[in-house]
Amino acid sequence: MEAAQKHGMKVRGYVSTVIACPYDGKVAPAKVAEVSERLFRMGCYEVSLGDTIGVGTPAECVAMIDAVAEKVPREKLAAHFHDTYGQSLANIMAVMERGIAVFDTAVAGLGGCPYAKGASGNVGTEDVIYLMNGLGIDHGVDLDAIAKAGREICAALGREPASKVAQALKAKAAA
């Protein structure tokens, strides 16, 4: 942090496994708050809270966000949800209602978690854009352009997109 600050670089902090850890099980929201506060006090301009194994539910995510928000201003928090159990959009909605407005996504829902066997990729960018469009939230991201990029990346990787919206748009285009 000192070197980054010395050179005028902004640092975004990340806390992984904020709901559960593949090695230690459930993670206490107070512990997430403690680590997040340390990162914020060190000088991180924002702290991203990651359910990196994708096991969180809306109630768990709200409890975690509320605990962290007692130590770090909500406008300095971001969320990072993997979609292993299909809860990422529900989790986003739940924490949006608690004042979180920044979310990490991955085009076509690509990715995974190297230390959690079976964990899926981060929530699909296409899925989040579609959600935001439906909520009337102005975000400035072109859904069709993102979906096209995702299709091209997936074609190069020889795999199908994990994003439900990407899958629906691909099927619609093929019809």
In-domain check, residue 118 = no
Q: Say whether both 99 and 132 belong to one domain.
A: no
State the total domains in the chain. Answer: 2
- 96/24 same-domain check: yes
Q: What is the CATH number of the domain that holds 56?
A: 3.20.20.70
How far lies 144's CA from each of 8, 130, 169, in Å?
36, 10, 9
Residue 114 lies in a domain: no
Residue 133 and residue 74 share a domain? no
Is residue 132 domain-shared with residue 100, that is, in the same domain? no
Q: Are 66 and 31 in contact (CB under 8 A)?
A: no
110 in any annotated domain: no
Q: Is the pLDDT reported for residue 113 higher than 80?
A: no
Q: Assess whether 87 and 21 both reside in one domain.
A: yes
Report pLDDT for 157.
92
130 in the same domain as 55: no
Read off the pLDDT of residues 29-61 as tens digits, 9 standing for 90 and up.
Answer: 999 999 999 999 999 999 999 999 999 999 999
Same structural domain for residues 136 and 99?
no
Q: Can you tell me the mean pLDDT for 89-113?
A: 94
115: in domain: no
Q: Are the CB atoms for 120 and 54 separated by under 8 Å? A: yes
Tokens of 48: 């991203």
pLDDT at 172: 86
Q: What is the radius of gyration, based on Cα positions, of the chain? A: 17
111 domain residue, yes or no:
no
Whether residues 41 and 80 fall in one domain: yes
Query: Do residues 73 and 137 both lie within one domain?
Result: no
pLDDT tens for 60-84 read 999 999 999 999 999 999 999 999 9
Query: What's the mean pLDDT in 4-9?
Result: 94
Query: 93 and 167, same structural domain?
Result: no
Residues 142 and 80 in one domain: no
How far, rounded to the nearest angstrom, does the alpha carbon of residue 123 sit from its chain's CA centroid?
6
* Residue 35 placed within a domain: yes
- For Cα atoms 62, 141, 152, give the angle at the middle one, nearest 5 degrees: 105
Q: State the Cα–Cα distance between residues 80 and 87, nearest whole angstrom.
A: 12
* Helix (H/G/I), strand (E/B), else coil: 77: strand
Confidence (pLDDT) at 52: 92
List pLDDT tens digits, range 114-156.
777 777 788 999 999 999 999 999 999 999 999 999 999 999 9
| Residue 112 within a domain | no
- How is residue 32 annotated by DSSP? H
Contact 16, 47 (CB under 8 A): no
| Sheet bearing 77-81, strands edge to edge | 12-15, 46-51, 77-81, 103-104
Are 16 and 93 members of one domain?
yes
Q: What is the set of active-site residues? A: 113
- Residue 27: give the domain boundaries: 2-104
pLDDT score for 111:
82
Please indicate, yes or no, if residue 159 is contained in any of the structural domains.
yes
